[in-house]
Structure formats: C-alpha cells, structure tokens
C-alpha cells in the first residue's frame, strides 16, 4: 500500500512530465520550503531497483541529479562515483556456487554479468568456458605420439568428435605436405642450407 509520501512522489513525477519541469529542481525547492515529507527529502531517485541496490552495495549516497529521466540516478551515473579500482578488482558473483565455478574453471570475468547488479551467474560463466575437445582416447595417444596439434581440428565424428581415422588422415596429410615441400627444394637445385648444388 502506497504511503502519502509515495503518492506525493508519484504526483510530482506525473506533474513534472505533464508541465515539463525539472523534478529534481522542484523537489529541491519544496525541500527548501520544508514542504516535503522527510521520506522524500534528500532522497536520491534511482531509475531502477537495480540502480538503488548498486548504490547500497557500494555505499554511494549521491547528491544532486543523475542523467536518467527526471534527474534519476542510473547505474552508469553511480559507477562514475565509485573508485575505478574498486569496480575492477571486485568481481561480484550472484552466488557462492558461481564463484566456485569461476575458480574451478580458472575464469576471471571482466565487465558485468547478467545477474542482479551486474553480478556473474553460473549461466554467464558457462559461456566463457572453452568447449572440451571431443576426442577418442586412441586418437589422442596417436596425435600425441606424432606431435600433432588438435586445437584447430574438427573431427568427422558426432558433434565434431575426433576419431582415430581423423588423426591418421591428418598425419598422412602432414607427411605428404612435408614431402612435397622437400621435393620442391631438391628440384630447385638447393640443399638444406639454401645453397646451389651442382649436378
């Protein structure tokens, strides 16, 4: 149920829009004349509940007006009032589980997550996890034995899974490629040092 102060706040907002006057200035003037209830005096107005929670979390008590509609404070306004190193160094997570997930997967997110007040949720963090390389054990062993990097490879198995035949093909293709380069060097009449060879 709205209190009389809430109703007055709503009325002032509606009037400011209808008669095109600055709500913050009007409230300041009414406060100077001691015509506002204490609940509305010196109380910053926020664009959203999220902005208000951000101000509470970072202990911000803004004065004056913000850049939002009718002088309301936006999260962007509030971030300007927070020490930059505090915002950067303090990644906030939506839950303890989200923080543990980030630690477990060695994720150090920057910027804001999609959670309340820009907090990082598990869903946000899962988007940052690199997909696991799908590879059969035998294919992995053969690739390792032959020094074949699989980081840029996509297999022919289900979901891009790399199987033994894929690795065997890439090894053969790699050998064929090296042999053709080697053949072109010997055909050009140079030895391994690049010097001409007399035939």
CA distance 3 to 7: 6
Residues 101/122, Cβ–Cβ less than 8 Å: yes
- Which helix (H) or strand (E) covers residue 35, if one does? none
CA distance 145 to 140: 9
Query: Global pTM?
Result: 0.32
- State pLDDT tens for residues 12-54: 888 888 888 887 777 777 777 777 776 665 567 787 888 888 8
What integer pLDDT is reported at residue 88 of this predicted model?
A: 44
For residue 68, what are the contacts with CB-CB under 8 A and spacing of at least 6? 46, 47, 51, 74, 77
What integer pLDDT is reported at residue 165 of this predicted model?
A: 94
Instruction: Report the greatest alpha carbon distance in the chain.
Output: 106
- The low-confidence residues of the chain, meaning pLDDT below 70, are 1-3, 38-43, 83-91, 131, 176-199
């Amino acid at each position: 149920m709205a209190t009389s102060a809430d109703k007055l706040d709503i009325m002032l907002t509606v009037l400011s829009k209808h008669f095109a006057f600055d709500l913050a200035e009007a409230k300041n003037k009414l406060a100077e004349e001691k015509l506002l209830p204490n609940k509305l005096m010196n109380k910053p107005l926020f664009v959203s509940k999220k902005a208000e929670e951000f101000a509470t979390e970072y202990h911000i008590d803004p004065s004056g007006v913000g850049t939002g509609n009718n002088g309301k404070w936006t999260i962007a306004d509030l971030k300007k009032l927070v020490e930059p190193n505090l915002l950067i160094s303090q990644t906030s997570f939506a839950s303890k589980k989200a923080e543990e997930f980030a630690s477990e997967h060695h994720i150090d997110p920057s910027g804001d997550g999609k959670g309340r007040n820009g907090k990082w949720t598990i869903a946000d963090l899962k988007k940052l996890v690199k997909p696991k390389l799908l590879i059969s054990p035998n294919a992995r062993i053969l690739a390792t034995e032959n020094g074949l990097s699989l980081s840029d490879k996509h297999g022919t198995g289900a979901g891009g899974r790399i199987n033994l035949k894929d690795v065997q093909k890439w090894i053969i293709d790699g050998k064929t490629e090296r042999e053709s380069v080697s053949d072109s060097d010997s055909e050009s009449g140079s030895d391994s040092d690049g010097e001409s060879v007399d035939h």
